[in-house]
Structure 1
């Protein structure tokens, strides 16, 4: 069964959101795909915040990528001046 993670992020005050997102698009999103994600969508939710919706083929694939995901998150914080503010995850149970 497909599995989804939704993470919320905040760009550090004083940083250009579009510039930060350019780096994330080029480096971080492809890294998630390499770990097995089937799709990654980022939604801008305010001047400094975003939500990332990452789809996985199943929970086992996501769980297997956990260590590498934590490394990517640390790099985003350190190199891209963003911090994770929340996370939700679970199996897809309905869709249209």
Structure 2
């Protein structure tokens, strides 16, 4: 939870600078060497609290599924994209 609190501190600082929408972004993949790259982003309403959000590596698969449903429901916006190795090669 320390990591989540650290991100919340950063988010609050950015909001004090005048930004009203802050998104969290993460990606996974090794590019064209080992399959696709998958990236996701979500912007949450800061007034809505979702208990038990933590680093996905620290929660069970079942809890991740439950959190996903709650996050999507509470999200201002969210997106997931997949980029295949061929497209990575073409863009590089």
Report the TM-score, using the length of structure 1 for normalisation: 0.31
Give the structure-2-normalised TM-score.
Answer: 0.32
More helix by share: 2
Structure number with greater CO (CA < 8 Å, separation at least 6) is: 1
Which structure has the larger Rg over C-alpha atoms?
Answer: 2
